[in-house]
């Protein structure tokens, strides 16, 4: 049977196009803007990336704030000469170090047992005192020493040596000062891994990656846009957390703005690379979620976010120091808290570790990345 | 005459065992609307994705506008538009933002406003993609394919799951593109879509082209432009089929669970003879219809199965 000739038409019947031509970076720019818009319109992202770290810093900062030692609570047993110790303890020179209450013996001991008082003082007939204290409670031991000092001084004991004390609870050595750079590092890791890894697998599962590579889009532009969107978010994250530390906890920042920005960018890019590698093959968001958690879990524990990794055995230390988050946290702490220059040998080593993690991950990810 | 799409002996084997495509050769002229018609799992999507340059064939050659995918792939991508079977575009972007995003990948895209108007999405321009209906989403998918002002449009099951009105809207859009000289390659398992839209078709089954031609040719090739379907009491013995086949004007006979289908040239000759034959057997006609033969009949004739087994 004869196959009829298909209708012949000219090929140049494309639509008349406006003179507008797209420049080299048009695709990149639109991809970046689309990514930023999507993030902005996703309330969960705003919460987890921006609000959650602030709440964490606030909560932990309040829980572990350095507070002046509380005044010791002392119960004095009511007796004939019960007034004597009380007046000695309330000497103005003691500067309100004690809360004193006079009670019957029974009531005093009962309340002590319940933890209401740190110490019970009972006058003895011979002009001496008897202390009831609990050697297992540090504040009870302390109260006993303080009260004994006060009573001995009140009774006229002279110090054998003249001593002087200077109070020291300096900004920079508190828990919150340790914590904020750690949270910064953790946040850079979290949002790098989720923001890149999860987002890519989600797009792959939705066949959006495949649709994109069906256009003349440059694949490098796409990856660059994802990375840049991380950097933009990073600036906001770091800025928020640092200003929060400075405003709420009077954190003192010794390192320069540029040094911190450079460290944070390196951290964001390194974890972006690790996120990209984690996401290079996975087809389903369920499987990538597991992978991301598996990669991050050791670093949450070992990299010194909430407590110093010096607590782990010495054998483990070299491995812990090779983790990217350890390097980032150490570098951030050295720069923020000590103002260490970036090119000092210790800092340089950390930067190198981060750069290697990021660089190798990126290279492997590009090799293995599955677009369809 | 320029060929827009050509492929020779395409084969695709997954994991060394599943043969999705087994030697498909096609030539599609510029300006044609060509359809791949076949049931689910016939290898249509694999074939079209190889032609789109998204899948590497195990063997065989592809030429798009005279070029192979291995060279100038970026230039080729400038000239084709694609709508995949299922792409979930970003829900939190607006329709206009999505079209502009896709337009930004092309050197010289059409203005987003033009595309919005052509696809009847102007009213929804600022709505988020997540808020669109199924038909609107599908039109947006086609819009992202048209924004690059392509010469060839690839559509993989463009109307699956849409309501009749949305399907007709999309058909109009496809015709409009073709009327401007564009070439269309689409896959479908709807025979009415293939019949109404396509200049030529390839019927695909088990990874092979089992028939090719215009819808009218394919139906003509079947022999008999009309189908007479009937069931009669007491006609279950095997010899009955021979009786029906010997009736005047009958090209072929098929017994589909008691319903007999006769492909005939002239129903006005065959039907009286059929009624006589039934009477001679002392049987009774329980049901009798006659209709134009369709691509579905072609498919059933060729494969013994229906296009959609649901």
A207: in domain: yes
Specify the higher pLDDT residue, A166 or A161. Answer: A161
Mutate: best of B89, B90, B223, partner A, most A CBs <10 A: B90
Long-range residue pairs from A289-294, CB within 8 A, at least 24 positions apart, any chain: A289/A198, A291/A197, A292/A193, A292/A194, A292/A197, A292/A198
> pLDDT at position A6, please?
47
How far apart CA B192 and CA A241 sit, in angstroms, is 61
Burial of residue A175 (CB within 10 Å: 0-12, 13-18, 19+) is middle
Lowest average pLDDT, out of A211-225, B188-202, B262-276, B296-310, goes to: B296-310
Enumerate the residues of chain A whose CB falls inside 8 A of the CB of residue B104. 22, 26-27, 29-31
**For the segment B9-42, what is each residue's pLDDT rounded down to a tens digit?**
999 999 888 899 999 999 999 999 999 998 888 8
Kindly state whether residues A320 and A239 are assigned to the same domain: yes
Whole-number pLDDT of residue B237: 59
DSSP string of A70-95? PPEEEEEE--TTTHHHHHHHT-GGGT
What does the mean pLDDT of chain A come to? 85
Contact call for A21 and B1, based on CB within 8 A: no
Task: Note whether B104 contacts A20, CB cutoff 8 Å.
Answer: no
Query: Where does the pLDDT of residue A87 fall: very low under 50, low under 70, confident under 90, or very high at 90 and above?
Result: low
How do B226-232 and B259-264 pair as beta strands?
Answer: antiparallel
Per-residue pLDDT at A10: 46
Query: Residue A99 is part of a domain; what is its CATH number?
Result: 3.40.190.10
Residue A120, domain extent:
72-154
For testing contact with chain A, the best of B46, B105, B147, B148 (most A CBs within 10 A): B105
Rounded mean pLDDT of A12-27?
69
Q: Which of A262, A272, A234 is nearest to A49 (CA)?
A: A234
* Lowest-pLDDT choice from A141-145, B163-167, B264-268: B264-268
Per residue in B139-192, pLDDT (tens digit) is 999 999 999 999 999 999 999 888 999 999 999 999 999 999 999 999 998 888
A119 shares a domain with A202 = no
Q: Does B30 touch chain A (CB under 8 A)?
A: yes
A16–B contact, CB cutoff 8 A: no
Residue A17 belongs to some domain of the structure: no
Strand partners, B256: B259
Q: List CB contacts (< 8 A) between B147 and chain A.
A: none
Same domain, A76 and A185: no
Q: DSSP letters along A7-63, please? A: PP--S--PPP--S----TTHHHHHHHHHHHHHHHT-HHHIIIIIIHHHHHHHHHHHH
Chain segment A251-265, per-residue pLDDT in tens: 888 888 899 999 999
A146 and A195, same domain (yes or no): no
In this structure, what token pair is assigned to residue A177?
């000062």
Residues of chain B in contact with residue A207, where contact means CB-CB under 8 angstroms, are 84, 86-88
Confidence grade of residue A150 (pLDDT, cut at 50, 70, 90): confident
Identify the helix (H) or strand (E) that includes residue A270: helix A257-278
Contact B84, B160 (CB under 8 A): no
Name the nearest CA neighbour of B90 among B128, B126, B125.
B128
What is the average pLDDT across B102-126? Answer: 95
Lowest mean pLDDT of A91-105, B93-107, B198-212, name the range: A91-105
pLDDT band at A50 (very low <50, low <70, confident <90, very high): confident
pLDDT in tens, A290-320: 999 999 999 999 999 988 999 899 999 999 9
Least confident of A87-96, A300-309, B280-289: A87-96
Residue that terminates a domain, selected from A126, A154, A182: A154
Distance (Å) of CA B135 to CA B96, B119, B171, B264 = 16, 11, 12, 39
Whether residues A259 and A302 fall in one domain: yes
A99 and A46 inside one domain = no
User: Residue B213 and residue A29: Cβ atoms within 8 Å?
Assistant: no
Check CB contact of B100 with chain A, cutoff 8 Å. yes
Question: What pLDDT is stored for residue A14 in this prediction?
Answer: 52
Residue identified by tokens 């906890």 is A249
Residues 6-25 of B with CB under 8 A from A: none
A210 in any annotated domain: yes
Mutate to test the interface with B, among A3, A6, A18, A222 (most CBs of B within 10 A): A6
The whole-number pLDDT of residue B259 equals 84
pLDDT in tens, A316-339: 999 999 999 999 999 999 999 888
Task: Please give, rounded to a whole number of angstroms, the shortest distance from the CA of B127 to a CA of chain A.
Answer: 13
- Mutation pick from A37, A41, A215, A284 vs chain B, by most beta carbons of B within 10 Å, is A215
Compute the distance between CA of residue B140 and CA of residue B169 in angstroms, rounded to an integer.
12
Structure confidence at residue B86 (pLDDT): 84
pLDDT of residue B111: 94
What's the pLDDT score for residue A147?
85
Residues A263 and A188 in one domain: yes
Does any CB of chain B come closer than 8 Å to the CB of residue A34? Answer: yes
A279 and A142, same structural domain?
no
Q: Choose one of A109, A128, A154: the last residue of a domain.
A: A154
User: What percentage of residues in chain A have a pLDDT greater than 70?
Assistant: 87
Query: A182 and A130: one domain?
Result: no
Shortest CA distance from B87: residue in chain A: A207
Cβ-based burial of B257 (10 A; exposed 0-12, middle 13-18, buried ≥19): exposed
Mutate which: B82, B98, B101, vs A, most A CBs within 10 A: B101
A34 and B97 within 8 Å at the Cβ level: the answer is: yes
Q: Which residue has the tokens 């592809």?
A: B62
Q: What is the pLDDT of residue B244?
A: 84
Please give the Cα distance from B184 to B201 (Å, whole number): 12
DSSP for A311-352, written as a single string: GS-GGGHHHHHHSHHHHHHHHHHHHHHH---TTSHHHHHHHH
Listed by number, the residues of chain B in 101-160 with a beta carbon closer than 8 Å to a beta carbon of chain A are 101-111, 114, 128, 144, 148-149, 151
B97 and chain A in contact, CB less than 8 A: yes
Tell whether the model's pLDDT for residue A8 goes beyond 50: no
- A271 and A327 in a single domain? The answer is yes
* Chain A positions in Cβ-Cβ contact with residue B74 (cut-off 8 Å): 216, 218
CA distance B254 to chain A (A): 24
**Between residues A84 and A160, the one the model is more confident about:** A160
User: Closest approach of chain B CAs to the CA of A273, in angstroms?
Assistant: 23
For residue B181, give the nearest of A10, A27, A217 by CB distance.
A10
Nearest residue in B to A30, CA atom? B101
Question: Do residues A186 and A296 lie in contact, with contact meaning Cβ atoms separated by under 8 Å?
Answer: no
| Other CB atoms within 10 A of residue A221 CB | 21
- A217:B105 CB<8 A: yes
- Counting beta carbons within 10 angstroms of the beta carbon of residue A159, is it exposed (0 to 12), middle (13 to 18) or buried (19 or more)? exposed
The reply to whether residue B87 touches residue A22, judged by beta carbons under 8 angstroms, is no
Q: Does A38 touch chain B (CB under 8 A)?
A: yes
Given a cut of 90, whether residue B82 has pLDDT beyond it is yes
Closest partner residue to A11 (CB to CB) among B30, B212, B221 is B30
Interface size A-B, in CB pairs within 8 Å, comes to 134
**Residue A81 confidence class, pLDDT cut points 50, 70, 90:** low
- On whether residue A341 sits in a domain, the answer given is yes
Residue numbers in B near A17 (CB within 8 A): 108-110, 149
In this prediction, residue A3 carries a pLDDT of 47
pLDDT band at residue B224 under the 50/70/90 scheme: low
Contact B101 A215 (CB under 8 A): no
Q: Using CB atoms, which residue from B89, B105, B151 is nearest to A27? A: B105
| Sign of the alpha-carbon torsion through B127, B131, B132, B137 | positive
DSSP state of B81: E
Mean pLDDT of chain B: 89
For residue A198, give every residue at least 6 positions away whose Cβ sits within 8 Å of its Cβ, in sequence order, or none. Answer: A275, A279, A285, A288, A289, A292
pLDDT recorded at residue B169: 92
Give A123's pLDDT tier (boundaries 50, 70, 90): confident
Closest by alpha carbon to B129, among B163, B101, B157?
A: B101
Alpha helices in B13-109 (DSSP H): 44-51, 73-79, 95-103
- CB contacts, 8 Å: A5 with chain B: 1
If 0-12 CB within 10 Å is exposed, 13-18 middle and 19+ buried, where does residue A27 land? buried
Tokens of B88: 């979930």
CB–CB of B145/B153 below 8 Å?
A: yes
B59-64: strand order across its sheet: B18-29, B3-14, B59-64
Return the pLDDT at A5: 47
Q: Give the confidence band of B127 by pLDDT, cuts at 50, 70, 90.
A: very high
The reply to whether A105 and A243 lie within a common domain is no
Question: Does A82 map to a domain?
Answer: yes
Looking at the predicted structure, is the pLDDT value of residue B55 above 80? Answer: yes
Smallest CA-to-CA distance from A172 within A225, A251, A99 is with: A251
Residue A38: list chain B partners with CB under 8 A. 90, 92-93
Distance CA A143, CA A74 (A): 8
A221 and A150 part of one domain: no
Regarding an ipTM greater than 0.95, the answer is no
Angle between helices B164-179 and B134-146 (to 10 degrees): 10
Residue A285 covered by a domain: yes
Residue B125 has pLDDT above 90, yes or no: yes
Judged by a CB distance cut-off of 8 A, whether residue A46 touches chain B is no
Res. A67: pLDDT tops 70: no
> Under an 8 A CB cutoff, do A3 and B217 touch?
yes
Task: Return d(Cα B40, Cα B309) in angstroms, integer.
Answer: 9
Are A364 and A277 spatial neighbours (Cβ–Cβ below 8 Å)?
yes
The residue with greater pLDDT, B271 or A171, is B271
Is the separation of the CB atoms in B228 and B261 below 8 Å?
yes
Chain A residues within an 8 Å CB radius of B54: 210, 213-214, 372
Is the CB of residue A159 less than 8 Å from the CB of residue A93? no
pLDDT score recorded for residue A12: 45
Distance CA A324, CA A21 (A): 43
pLDDT score recorded for residue A102: 83
Interface of B with A in 248-267 (CB under 8 A): none
CB atoms within 10 A of CB B58: 15
> Once rounded to an integer, what is the mean pLDDT over residues B60-73?
91
How many structural domains is chain A composed of?
A: 2
Per the domain annotation, does A2 fall within a domain? no
pLDDT at A323: 95
Is B103 in Cβ contact with A215 (below 8 Å)? no
Q: Which of A100, A121, A154 is the last residue of a domain?
A: A154
Q: What is the pLDDT of residues A279-296, one digit of tens each?
A: 999 999 999 999 999 999
Cβ within 8 Å of residue A291, ≥6 positions away: A197, A278, A282
């Amino acid at each position: 049977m004869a196959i009829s000739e298909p209708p012949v038409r000219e090929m140049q019947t494309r639509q008349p196009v406006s003179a507008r031509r797209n420049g080299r970076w048009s695709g990149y720019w639109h991809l970046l803007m689309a990514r930023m818009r999507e993030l902005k319109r996703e309330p969960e992202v705003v919460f987890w990336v921006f609000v959650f770290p602030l709440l964490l810093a606030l909560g932990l900062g309040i829980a572990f704030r350095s507070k002046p030692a509380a005044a010791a609570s002392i119960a004095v047993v009511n007796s004939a000469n019960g007034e004597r110790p009380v007046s000695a303890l309330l000497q103005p020179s003691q500067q309100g170090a004690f809360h004193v209450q006079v009670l019957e013996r029974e009531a005093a001991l009962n309340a002590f047992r319940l933890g209401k008082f740190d110490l019970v003082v009972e006058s003895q007939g011979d002009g001496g005192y008897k202390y009831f204290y609990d050697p297992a409670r540090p504040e009870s031991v302390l109260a006993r020493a303080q009260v004994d000092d006060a009573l001995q001084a009140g009774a006229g004991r002279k110090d054998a040596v003249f001593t002087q004390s200077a109070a020291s609870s300096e900004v920079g050595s508190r828990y919150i000062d340790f914590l904020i750079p750690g949270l910064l590092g953790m946040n850079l890791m979290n949002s790098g891994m989720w923001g890149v890894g999860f987002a890519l697998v989600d797009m792959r599962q939705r066949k959006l990656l495949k649709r994109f590579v069906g256009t003349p889009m440059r694949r490098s532009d796409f990856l660059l846009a994802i990375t840049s969107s991380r950097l933009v978010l990073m600036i906001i994250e770091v800025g928020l957390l640092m200003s929060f530390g400075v405003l709420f906890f009077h954190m003192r920042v010794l390192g320069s703005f540029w040094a911190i920005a450079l460290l944070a960018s390196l951290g964001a890019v390194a974890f972006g690379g690790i996120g990209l590698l984690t996401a290079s093959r996975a087809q389903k968001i369920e499987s990538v979620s597991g992978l991301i958690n598996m990669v991050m879990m050791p670093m949450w524990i070992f990299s010194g976010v909430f407590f110093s990794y010096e607590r782990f055995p010495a054998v483990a230390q070299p491995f812990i120091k090779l983790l990217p988050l350890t390097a980032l946290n150490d570098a951030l702490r050295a720069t923020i808290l000590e103002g260490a220059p970036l090119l000092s040998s210790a800092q340089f080593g950390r930067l190198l570790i981060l750069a290697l993690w990021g660089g190798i991950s990126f290279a492997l990810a590009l090799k293995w990345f599955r677009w369809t | 005459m320029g060929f827009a799409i050509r492929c020779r002996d395409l084969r695709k084997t997954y994991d060394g065992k599943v043969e999705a495509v087994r030697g498909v050769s096609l030539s599609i002229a510029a300006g044609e609307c060509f359809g791949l018609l076949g049931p689910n799992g016939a290898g249509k999507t694999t074939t079209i994705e190889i032609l789109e340059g998204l899948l590497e064939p195990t063997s065989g050659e592809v030429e798009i506008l005279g070029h192979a995918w291995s060279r100038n792939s970026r230039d080729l991508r400038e000239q084709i538009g694609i709508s995949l079977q299922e792409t979930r575009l970003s829900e939190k972007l607006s329709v206009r933002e999505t079209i502009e995003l896709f337009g930004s990948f092309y050197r010289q895209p059409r203005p987003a406003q033009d595309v919005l108007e052509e696809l009847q999405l102007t009213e929804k321009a600022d709505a988020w993609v997540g808020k669109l209906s199924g038909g609107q989403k599908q039109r947006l998918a086609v819009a992202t394919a048209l924004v690059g002002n392509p010469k060839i449009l690839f559509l993989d099951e463009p109307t699956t799951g849409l309501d009749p009105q949305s399907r007709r809207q999309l058909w109009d859009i496809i015709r409009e593109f073709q009327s401007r000289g564009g070439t269309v390659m689409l896959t479908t398992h709807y025979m009415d879509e293939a019949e109404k839209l396509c200049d030529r078709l390839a019927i695909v089954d088990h990874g092979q082209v089992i028939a090719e031609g215009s819808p009218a040719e394919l139906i003509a090739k079947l022999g008999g432009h009309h189908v007479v379907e009937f069931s009669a009491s007491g006609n279950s013995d095997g010899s009955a089929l021979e009786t029906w086949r010997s009736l005047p004007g009958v090209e072929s006979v098929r017994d589909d669970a008691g319903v007999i289908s006769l492909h005939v040239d002239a129903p006005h000759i065959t039907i009286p003879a059929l009624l006589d034959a039934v009477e001679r057997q002392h049987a009774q006609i329980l049901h009798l219809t006659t209709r134009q033969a369709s691509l579905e009949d072609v498919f059933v004739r060729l494969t013994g199965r229906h296009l959609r087994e649901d």
